[in-house]
Amino acid sequence: MQRCSAIITEDPVQAAPTHPGPLTGLRFAVKDVMDVAGTTMGMGHPLWASTHSVADTHADCINQCLVQGAELIGKTQTDELTYSLAGNNHHYGVAPNPAVPDATPGGSSSGSASAVAQGLVDFAIGTDTGGSIRIPASYCGLYGLRPSHGAVSRVGVGSLAPQFDTVGWLAQRADILMAVGEALLPNTETPIPSQVALLNDGMELLDSIMAHKARGAIRSLGLPVSRSISIGSLESYRRVFQVVQAYEAWQTHGEWITANKPVFGPGVAERFDAASKITAEEAQAAQANLNGLRQRVRDLIGDDTIWCMPTVPASALPISAPAEEVDFIRGQTLCLTAVAGVAGLPQLSLPWLRDVRGPVGFSLIGPPGSDRHLLRLARNLAFASHLRKAPGPVPAV
């Protein structure tokens, strides 16, 4: 598979800040699923732009950053129609992962993560439906936030599965991640979480070394640790998530796919084909199960607890990994990412853990609307770590 640049060179964009503000002096890029005035979004497929019109205005999230003083310098690569977590686009290639050079950066916000990890921008905006901010953040050793569902405007942003689609962002520094949150998140008051708990079900997907590191990381948060939490088999969350996501993905893109017959790469092609066969009755049954799981999670997390677990089971897969291994890891990863997706909760991935190959994110999942609290906690922990001149809460192996 060929390499590609993280920032799309064939469709350069630039937009100056419209006002000075807290983001003054910061440069950012946006995933190519967002309207940039005067251009056409690409959605990771060469046929998309030729069948869609030029945008008259920027997406809301872009305008909000420009108003706060940031400068837009480019669009970033994405997986095809965002229906992948691999960061391996059949048409354009694989963006670099500086943290693990022979590996993918993760998808579908692959270019956004790659651009930040390479230092090309201070932060990048992407989207997260099934893990597309959290997984690249973990693979590239970055901070990344999937916000509470509906917290950030999606006006002018392409969709995959509206029930799960969110606008998120990535940065190398926790203070920058928080500054972007101040620009994009609503200023709502929610209780400040007072305790943390390990999500025990997620630990079962880890080897013993990573599980030990995760248990150590939770103690670094500086909050009282309550008992471990169990929400039941994560496989049940993954199954209902994938069915409902697939059904919505076909409702969103099926008409365009049928009319234009685009060529998709391996994995994406099979997922859309399977999505086209899901009946309304099957989707309704899965939705009913999903609603029950969502309520269960929200009842358990309450309004004062942060749940913790690794973002993904392991570090980034090599580009050359066989398809069977990619599919297996995708399934395990979705078991972890589906929790916040099903429940609509904010999830912040911190670059705290490592395995023998590279970085592995450590996640904080908060109650609905607790996004700012999570960002503030990460910022304070990073500042305290800097004062101690320590590399981070958990050492590398």
User: Between helices 174-184 and 371-388, what is the axis angle to 10°?
Assistant: 160
Mean pLDDT (the chain, rounded): 94
How far is it, in rounded angstroms, from Cα 384 to Cα 100?
27
Q: What pLDDT does residue 386 have?
A: 63
Q: What pLDDT does residue 385 have?
A: 72
First to last CA, the chain: 30
**DSSP structural state of residue 157:** B
pLDDT at 131 > cutoff 60:
yes
Average pLDDT over residues 207-230: 90
Please, what's the b/e burial string for 19-38 (b: 16 or more CB within 10 A of its CB; e: otherwise)?
A: eebebeebbbbbbbbbbbee
Token pair 């590398």 is at which residue? 396
Average pLDDT over residues 116-136: 98
Average pLDDT over residues 329-350: 97
Indicate the pLDDT class of residue 207, thresholds 50, 70 and 90. Answer: confident
Average pLDDT over residues 344-362: 96
How many C-beta neighbours within 10 Å does residue 382 have?
A: 19
Are the C-beta atoms of 30 and 125 separated by less than 8 Å?
yes
pLDDT cut 90: percent of the chain above it: 89
Most confidently modeled range among 5-14, 226-235, 386-395: 5-14
Q: What pLDDT does residue 45 have?
A: 97
- Of 149, 107, 75, 49, give the one whose Cα is nearest residue 368: 149
Most confidently modeled range among 204-208, 220-224, 297-301: 297-301
132 is catalytic: yes
pLDDT cut 70: percent of the chain above it: 97
Q: What pLDDT does residue 1 have?
A: 67
Q: What pLDDT does residue 390 have?
A: 46
**Least confident piece of the model among 12-21, 115-124, 212-221:** 212-221
Indicate the pLDDT class of residue 395, thresholds 50, 70 and 90. Answer: very low
DSSP letters, 322-365, are -HHHHHHHHHHHHHHHHHHHHHT--EEEEEEEE-SSSEEEEEEE
E strand intervals along the chain: 27-31, 71-76, 123-128, 143-146, 166-171, 195-198, 305-310, 347-354, 359-365
CA torsion sign for 22, 26, 32, 37 is positive
Q: What pLDDT does residue 30 have?
A: 98
31 is catalytic: yes
pLDDT at 394 > cutoff 50:
no
More confident residue, 397 or 321: 321
Q: Which of 31, 112, 159, 213 is catalytic?
A: 31
Indicate the pLDDT class of residue 387, thresholds 50, 70 and 90. Answer: low
Indicate the pLDDT class of residue 283, thresholds 50, 70 and 90. Answer: very high
pLDDT at 200 > cutoff 60:
yes
Q: Which of 84, 109, 112, 132 is catalytic?
A: 132
How far is it, in rounded angstroms, from Cα 354 to Cα 91?
31
Q: What pLDDT does residue 391 have?
A: 44
Q: Which of 5, 84, 108, 370 is catalytic?
A: 108
pLDDT at 227 > cutoff 90:
no
- Cα 57–60–65 angle (5° rounding)? 105
Average pLDDT over residues 198-217: 90
Indicate the pLDDT class of residue 224, thresholds 50, 70 and 90. Answer: very high
How far is it, in rounded angstroms, from Cα 390 to Cα 384?
9
Give the model confidence (pLDDT) of 167-184 as tens digits: 999 999 999 999 999 999
**Least confident piece of the model among 77-81, 100-104, 171-175, 188-192:** 188-192
pLDDT at 396 > cutoff 60:
no
